[in-house]
Amino acid sequence: MEEESDTREILSADTLEDAAAAVEDQEEPSEIQCDCSRSPPYACPLSVTVEPVIFLSMFSLALQAPLYTQYLWERISEDVGYNGTRGGGGCGNSSAEQDPLQKEVESLTAHWNLYINLGGFLVGLFVVILIGSWSDRAGRRLVLILPSLGLAVQAAVYLTVMYLKLPVAWFLLGRICSGLSGDFNAILAGCFAYVADISDKRSRTFRVAILEACLGVAGMFASIIGGKWRHAQGYINPFWLVLTTNLATALYAYLFIPESVTPDPGASLFSTQHLRAVCNLFASGGQGGHRTRLWLYTLCFFLVITVHFGSRELYVLYELSTPLCWDSELIGYGSAAQHMAYLTSLLGLKVLQRCLSDSCVAIFGLVSNITGLVVFSFANTTGLMFTGYSLCFLFMASTPVLRSKLSKLVSPSEQGVLFASVACVEGLGSLVASGVFNSLYPATLHMMKGFPFLFGAIVLVLPAGIIGVLWHREKRMHSEETAVN
């Protein structure tokens, strides 16, 4: 009885919140509301704001990620004296599967990925909380500019390592520099918070979906370009483009993006107030006291992001080695197919929303991801690998739904804190994914090479179940409330 009473209170609060939002939508225009007193040097069209920022940032990230892993593979192969890689006499032969040097290269590459990413994520995890919450008072533009400059510094360090043939441990310095500025997660937090500032509830889901689509389109182009470019000219020139793109992102944010909040000159970055705001959000559950649902949807988001990051880090390593033995061009096509799912997920989300609830769409997206990962775990041919990519055509449909559900559980004044928390969850998911999947891969090579993908599929069953239970409960309680009224 007490649980039913609490649920009715939540539903009543949701009804009042939706009514208030409807009034606001009537009284206020649904277009962009910007702080014109702090305009950039050049005004941008109202229909385009942070989309180029997230596009360019994702382009640089998707361009460098596969190349960075391949570079690690080749440098470590040189160090251990392994020359049976793609195109050689070892890869693709049945005996190569038992080659101890290849297994050593795979293990060392996975471990160095783990060490370098851990360094960046441990630093960036706490920085994202600070600058994300700080942006509520200091403004959003700084949160877009500073991480872009940090990513440019990281690219400069990587170029130095490649030019001077420094030990791969120097990559850690670049990741730490990027982490100190908030890394890519800070850009995500700033972009989603900016969209929350300038949109009403009716248009917010669509604007979030557009940002998600920008991620996919940028990743798709970068993957195709990166594979062909590396095959033709090596690693140096593509990383110069990464450096230039990150600098261009910071310049665009400075010149063209108007401020969406009124900056407070007295806002301090290093303040415990930012941490208290996050704690208060999850302790009280936001507006209406939706604490349980806030925690459960956050847990779902964390698990989904963890599997996304963890499996993505292993795709290139899995494709480089026996029995697939892909070259850089095939790896580029595979990465492009993976990022193409951002667009197909957006289209699927738009179509499925016409006849299904958001919760059902999220479950369909998780089922798509699970089936694709199961195929990856047993893929031993190029055809099977691309079959797995095609089955994941809806795998990104769940994340915009979860972001939207979380956004609707808090008040407009808590949107900035919420997206800072979501960025923190993304950073934590990246950290856990890097630790678990990069450790699990070398540990299970002797047993089942694709086991980490199977493990990820099993993990995704939990958020699918949670979303299904919450959807069923919300639907039942809504029916009871309608019958009473």
Instruction: Give tens-digit pLDDT for 448-467.
Output: 989 999 999 999 999 999 99
> What is the pLDDT confidence band of residue 365, given thresholds at 50, 70 and 90?
very high
Cα separation, 427 vs 138, whole angstroms:
22
- The dihedral of CA 227, 233, 239, 242: what is its sign? negative
Region 189-193: what's the mean pLDDT?
86
Evaluate if residue 370 carries a pLDDT over 90.
yes
pLDDT of residue 31: 39
Q: What domain count does the chain have?
A: 1
Residue, of 94 and 266, whose pLDDT is higher: 266
Instruction: Give tens-digit pLDDT for 413-447.
Output: 677 778 878 877 887 887 788 789 988 998 898 88
Q: Are 356 and 229 in contact (CB under 8 A)?
A: no
Q: Is residue 291 part of a domain?
A: yes
Evaluate if residue 72 carries a pLDDT over 80.
yes
Secondary structure (3-state) at 313 = helix
The DSSP letter of residue 268 is -
- Domain of residue 324 covers 45-83+99-262+274-480
pLDDT of residue 287: 52
| Lowest mean per-residue pLDDT among 95-99, 234-238, 310-314 | 95-99
Cα separation, 409 vs 412, whole angstroms:
10
| Lowest mean per-residue pLDDT among 64-73, 196-205, 256-265 | 196-205
Evaluate if residue 247 carries a pLDDT over 90.
yes
Instruction: Give tens-digit pLDDT for 202-220.
Output: 667 678 878 888 887 888 7
pLDDT of residue 267: 67
One-letter amino acid for residue 314 of the chain: L
Cα separation, 465 vs 450, whole angstroms:
24
Residue, of 323 and 454, whose pLDDT is higher: 454
pLDDT of residue 42: 58
Q: Are 227 and 27 in contact (CB under 8 A)?
A: no
Q: Is residue 15 part of a domain?
A: no
Region 137-141: what's the mean pLDDT?
80
Pick from 387, 405, 397: which is nearest to 342 by CA? 397
Across 61-75, 110-124, 471-485, which has the greatest mean pLDDT? 61-75
Q: Is residue 347 part of a domain?
A: yes
Q: Is residue 94 part of a domain?
A: no
Which CATH number covers residue 234? 1.20.1250.20
pLDDT of residue 24: 38
- The dihedral of CA 380, 339, 249, 183: what is its sign? negative
Q: Is residue 216 part of a domain?
A: yes
Cα separation, 357 vs 348, whole angstroms:
13
Reported as type and span, the H/E element at residue 109 is helix 100-138
Evaluate if residue 7 carries a pLDDT over 50.
no
Proportion of the chain above pLDDT 90, given as a percent: 27
pLDDT of residue 262: 75
Pick from 97, 69, 133: which is nearest to 438 by CA? 69
Residue, of 64 and 200, whose pLDDT is higher: 64
Longest dimension (CA), the chain: 76
Torsion of CA 213, 217, 219, 297, to 10 degrees: 10
Secondary structure (3-state) at 98 = helix
| Lowest mean per-residue pLDDT among 16-20, 140-144, 173-177, 472-476 | 16-20
pLDDT of residue 217: 85
To 5 degrees, how large is the angle CA 212–CA 364–CA 7?
Answer: 90
pLDDT of residue 41: 59
Q: Is residue 40 part of a domain?
A: no
Evaluate if residue 392 carries a pLDDT over 90.
yes
Cα separation, 181 vs 187, whole angstroms:
10
Q: Are 199 and 183 in contact (CB under 8 A)?
A: no
One-letter amino acid for residue 379 of the chain: A
Region 126-146: what's the mean pLDDT?
82
CA dist list (Å): 20 to 15, 17, 260 = 9, 5, 22
| Lowest mean per-residue pLDDT among 10-14, 68-72, 323-327, 469-473 | 10-14
Residue, of 87 and 469, whose pLDDT is higher: 469
DSSP string, 334-380: HHHHHHHHHHHHHHHHHHHTTTS-HHHHHHHHHHHHHHHHHHHHH--
Q: Is residue 3 part of a domain?
A: no
Q: Report phi then psi at 22, rounded to 5.
A: -65, -40
Q: Is residue 290 part of a domain?
A: yes
The DSSP letter of residue 396 is T
